[in-house]
Chain A
Amino acid sequence: MHIFHIHYRNTQGTLMRIINAASRRALELPYVKAEANANGHQATLLLEVTPKQIGQLRRDWYAIVDVTEVQVSIAEFETGLGVPHPPISAGDESVRSATA
């Protein structure tokens, strides 16, 4: 597993384009987080990828107009970032109550 930190300017659609680079390759997205920071915004993705895919993803993200930097590292489960975040199913009671 690899952690990708993609720094970007939070313009319309940029985050979606970042995620799309992974989703179009049918990569599972066990963990995605996007947040503002001192330098703009950062998206963090946890992905199971091959070395070749790492290169491809880096280049695809840099091709996005408002992406400013891409950092890659091997996932470290001790930090908690390596813990998969399972998707909530539509049958989940907590979801139903939240959307009621």
Chain B
Amino acid sequence: MLRGAEITLQCMRAEGVDLVFGYPGGAIMPLYDALDGSGIKHILTRHEQGAVFAAEGVARATGKVGVAMATSGPGATNLVTGIADAKMDSVPLVCITGQVRSALIGTDAFQETDVFGLTLSLTKWSRLVKTIEEIPSVIAEGFHWARSGRPGPVVIDIPTDILKAKIEFSGPVKFVPQANPSNGHGQPLFANELVSLLEKAKKPVALVGAGAKLSGAIADLRRLLDHLQIPTFATVHGLGAVPPSASYYLGMVGMHGTMASNMALDETDLLLVFGARLDDRVTGDPSRFSPNAKIVHFEIDPAQLDRVRQCELPIVGDLAETIPATHAVLRGISLPDWSEWRGVACGEERLGLEPRGLAVPTIRFLDELFSRLPENHVVIADVGQHQMWAAQRYRSCLPRGFITSGGLGSMGFALPAAIGVQMSKPDATVLCVSGDGGFQMNIQELATVHRLGLPIKMVIIDNKFLGMVRQWQQLFYQRNYAETDLSDNPDFVAISKAYKIHGQRISEDAMREFPISPETSDELERFLHSPQSELLVFDTAPEANVFPMVPAGASLSEMLLEED
């Protein structure tokens, strides 16, 4: 006879789970009681939000399903931001929450919340378990939906009495989804139409998003793009999919994308979209987005089609299948000569825009750090100006080398996510870049870093402001810096020492020398290659801004290249 708790853990183990992040409490206590001997390592974070972001870090770095656990009520509600984050960025995530005992559900019992109802719009699938007998099928189905198709978050809410109940357990089960009738997105042969569109195109471009990486189709995509040789750019989640050394690669596109990318996207007459959902950070004003472009959209999730504008040719399916199929079709076709267009779109005039102004020391600092990263690395960025600078300067071709909260933009993401990344990639150099605002949102996870002895390299770009909001206030609200002043920040180095983590500061003056001094260079080398966790606080100008910038509601062609 096994308890529901043991059955839950055995079924999770059968799904390949060997690592979970969580925080115990009353309702979920039976599950914690069963952890010993389960084969699943549990990492105690210091806040449930830390647990769910850490689980996301595992999932984003490896593609495996990340798992977080929390108790009922406030424990479960503290997971909500992470669940929303996983939904927006297509992250495979399973959250196991304890719930009050079945007889009390619906009575506003102590630490009871309707987690199922609360997360309905944020989850791909969810279930409030009603009997111990259904645990194996619920776990199997939950993990299936988390990882299949467009990955996403799943919540499994288990009342405490069911965790404690006992039955004879015959073993985990496999979930076999029911076949649905065709949803009208069956894939007729697209070859002729695609070839026709390419033959007529004068200024084709390609946009690469997260879906290209999630599908595991990177190698095939690179071969296809090498064949097409058309100007190509990436969303923030597509960074690393295309080697930056490719002559046709223009960098990141969108609100803080490169001038070259934004101009090409604005001027194109044929846009090939690979696994991107064309969200507003990429398109600018949707009504003026790529006004002359026909869109060919490679996408696994039909719900992402036609959100901004009707696409000419939807190619629905797993990119791991549709991209090689497309390449096979195009191999035998003589494509138009786009060299003149490529020369304009990829020319030095557009690509050669150098950073200017107050942001230069910070950008140089990031360049120096990134240039020293070993091949086996992961950069995790929090949310804000530092995130955009980091995305702009990231130059690696590791598909999972740059991780950030893109769709939801959750501040406080980076530090706990870095914990998950380092746990799942113990040999990688993990560089966690945060702002002074976001770092404080989950600063308590320094305790987790120390307890585990994780050699995470943490950087705080400290401008003593909520920088991105301040930038908008400067540019669009007449410098009314309402509630963005963080000039009374604590001493982060002292805090890191209190958590028994080595910390130090570096001033932006060190980055004004070019090249940087040998002492500064040595310090950066020491920081990055230290065998222990490290914190480096970079003091920078409060009013540095991120450019280029496409103002909200503006079209890509209206991007600002510098301050007035």
Contacts and interface: CB of A to CB of B under 8 A. Distances in A.
A20 B301 CA distance: 19
B181 A24 contact: no
Interface string B282-295: 00000000000000
A63 B277 CA distance: 14
Interface in B299-320: 301-307, 310
Contacts, number: 46
Interface in A33-88: 52, 55-56, 59-60, 62-63, 65, 67-70
A100 interface: no
A12 B128 contact: yes
A9 B178 CA distance: 10
B120 A63 contact: no
Given A9-B178, A12-B128, A68-B180, A20 B303 contact: no
B145 A56 contact: no
B128 to A, nearest CB: 7
A62 to B, nearest CB: 5
Interface in B125-173: 125-128, 145, 150
Nearest to B307: A56
Nearest to B126: A13
A16 interface: yes
17 contacts: A13-B116, A13-B120, A13-B127, A16-B117, A20-B120, A52-B306, A55-B306, A59-B303, A59-B306, A62-B303, A63-B150, A67-B180, A68-B180, A68-B181, A69-B180, A69-B183, A70-B183
A56 to B, nearest CB: 7
Q: Ordered nearest first, which 10 A-B pairs have the shortest CB separation?
A: A59-B303, A63-B303, A62-B183, A59-B302, A68-B180, A20-B121, A65-B125, A55-B306, A60-B303, A16-B120
Contacts of B128: 12
Interface of B: 116-117, 120-121, 124-128, 145, 150, 178, 180-181, 183, 185, 301-307, 310
A9 B128 CA distance: 17
A12 B302 CA distance: 23
Most buried by A among B116, B127, B303: B303
Nearest to A62: B183
Nearest to A17: B120
Contacts of A70: 183
A69 B303 CA distance: 14
A62 B302 contact: yes
Contacts of B310: 55
A92 B307 CA distance: 41
Given A13-B120, A59-B305, A65 B183 contact: no
Contact of A65 (B117, B120, B121, B145): B145
B376 to A, nearest CB: 36
Interface of A: 9, 12-13, 16-17, 20, 24, 52, 55-56, 59-60, 62-63, 65, 67-70
Nearest to A21: B121
Contacts of A65: 124-125, 145
A55 B145 CA distance: 24
A70 B183 CA distance: 8
Contacts of B307: 56
Contacts of B150: 63
A24 B121 contact: yes
A12 B303 contact: no
A93 to B, nearest CB: 27
Contacts of B180: 67-69
B496 to A, nearest CB: 42
Given A17-B121, A62-B303, A63-B150, 17 more contacts: A12-B128, A13-B126, A13-B127, A17-B120, A52-B306, A55-B306, A56-B303, A56-B306, A59-B304, A59-B305, A62-B185, A63-B301, A65-B125, A67-B180, A68-B181, A69-B181, A70-B183
A21 to B, nearest CB: 9
A1 to B, nearest CB: 22
Contacts of A67: 180
Nearest to B127: A12
Nearest to B125: A65
A9 B179 CA distance: 12
A10 B151 CA distance: 23
A55 B311 CA distance: 12
A56 B308 CA distance: 10
Contacts of A56: 303, 306-307
Contacts of A12: 116, 126-128
Nearest to B124: A65
Contacts of A60: 303
Contacts of B302: 59, 62-63
Contacts of A62: 183, 185, 302-303
A52 B129 CA distance: 37
Contacts of A16: 117, 120
Nearest to A7: B181
B529 to A, nearest CB: 45
